[in-house]
Amino acid sequence: MLTDHVRQECFSSGHLAKIIDNKDILASVKRIAAIKTDIVMGNTNNYDKLKMNNSIAVIQGDITQQKVDAIVNAANNSLLGGGGVDGAIHKAAGSELLKECRKLNGCATGEAKITKGYNLPAKWVIHTVGPIWYGGSQGEDESLASCYRSCLEIAQQQQYQIKAIAFSAISTGVYGFPVERAARIAAREIQRFLESNNSLEQVILVCFSKSSYDSYLSAVNQMSERQLD
Ligand code: APR
């Protein structure tokens, strides 16, 4: 993803092209490294000529406060609320959210359903149900991957006009999924989606704790380095 943007937008006409022209290789390597870091941190709006269709950002924060089009809730099969991020989202959204969830008849693990956001800054909440971790031999990886695919499939639907979406760290709390493993799955599935869809302009991974943030940022970094190889 990065090499395509660098090749298309910077080498041809922008600031980077001038650096290359006067053969300042060290400056150009530093510039590309800066581009990669900004992509990972989602700070892509300060590029000359680098028009990013989409990028993955990792932040530490409270997903209920994110001013995006949709937030992703780590729910349970009943969709009737709970603790953790599910409890926080229902509390912030207000009672109307639970009323709408009651009409959805639950949600299978690995699948997702969308509701309005009500009192949340986000217009939509996409509820997905991650797998409970039983040690890795019960198809947990695939179920978690399916959560990301199901949410992104809903997010790209024209009717919702979703350009920016924020994910919580699905299954890594009460459900006990190992954080680094979950982060790699999240980064991989989101990247695969962004490579073949440009309906989203930004995907944000919102981590509540510093340790979770470090794991997800590392996973996104490692994935973008693989893109450069
Ligand atoms: N904003 C962002 N992330 C949060 C917030 C918040 N306000 N609150 C908690 N988190 C983080 C947790 O720290 C964890 O990293 O969300 C991640 C997912 O943890 P859980 O909320 O426990 O979700 P999960 O592990 O998928 O378990 C789902 O827990 O809350 C119940 O009803 C839910 O039964 C379901 C189960």
Structure confidence by residue, pLDDT tens digits, 73-116: 999 999 999 999 999 999 999 999 999 999 999 999 999 999 99
Q: Identify the CATH number of the domain defined by range 4-228.
A: 3.40.220.10
For the chain, percent of residues with pLDDT exceeding 70: 76
pTM check: above 0.85: no
Structural contact between residues 143 and 131, judged by C-beta atoms closer than 8 angstroms: yes
Phi-psi region of 126 (alpha: psi -120 to 50; beta: other; left: phi over 0): beta
Name residues of the chain where pLDDT drops below 50: 1-2, 8-14, 42-53
From the CA of 48, how far away is ligand 1's center (Å)? Answer: 38
From the CA of 125, how far away is ligand 1's center (Å)? Answer: 14
From the CA of 114, how far away is ligand 1's center (Å)? Answer: 18
Query: Domain residues of the chain, as ranges?
Result: 4-228
Q: Is 83 in the pocket of ligand 1 (CB under 6 A)?
A: yes
DSSP β-bridge partners for residue 207: 60
Q: What is the pLDDT of residue 136?
A: 98
User: Ligand 1: which of 71, 85, 101, 132 to mutate, judged by most atoms within 8 Å of the beta carbon?
Assistant: 85
Cβ-based neighbours of 84, under 8 Å, separated by 6 or more:
74, 173, 174
Identified catalytic residue from 69, 86, 141, 214: 86
Mean pLDDT of the chain: 85
